Amino acid sequence: MEEKKNTMPLLGEAFPELAVQTTEGPMNLPCDLKGNWFVFFSHPADFTPVCTTEFVAFQKRYDQFKALGCKLVGMSIDQVFSHIKWLEWIKDVLKVDIEFPVVAANDAIAMKLGMLHPGMGTNTVRAVFIVDPEGIVRLIMYYPQEIGRNIDEIVRAVKALQISDAKNVAVPAGWPNNELIQDKVIVPPPADMKGAAKRRAGEYDNFDWWFSYKSKDA
Contact, 129 vs 137, CB < 8 A? yes
- On whether both 107 and 143 belong to a single domain, the answer is yes
Strand (E) positions, the chain? 18-22, 25-29, 37-42, 70-76, 102-104, 126-131, 137-143, 185-187, 205-208, 211-214
Angstrom distance (rounded) from CA 121 to CA 119: 6
pLDDT band at 99 (very low <50, low <70, confident <90, very high): very high
User: How many independent structural domains does the chain possess?
Assistant: 2
- On whether both 25 and 109 belong to a single domain, the answer is yes
Positions marked catalytic: 51
Q: Is residue 36 part of a domain?
A: yes
Say what the pLDDT of residue 6 is. Answer: 52
Q: Is residue 54 helix, strand or coil?
A: helix
Q: Report the CATH number at residue 189.
A: 3.30.1020.10
Better-predicted residue by pLDDT, 108 or 209: 209
The pTM (predicted TM-score) of the whole model is 0.91
Say whether pLDDT at 151 is over 80.
yes
- On whether both 105 and 186 belong to a single domain, the answer is no
Average predicted confidence (pLDDT) for the chain: 92
- On whether both 132 and 176 belong to a single domain, the answer is no
Say whether pLDDT at 66 is over 80.
yes
- On whether both 61 and 27 belong to a single domain, the answer is yes
* Structural domain boundaries enclosing 55: 18-149
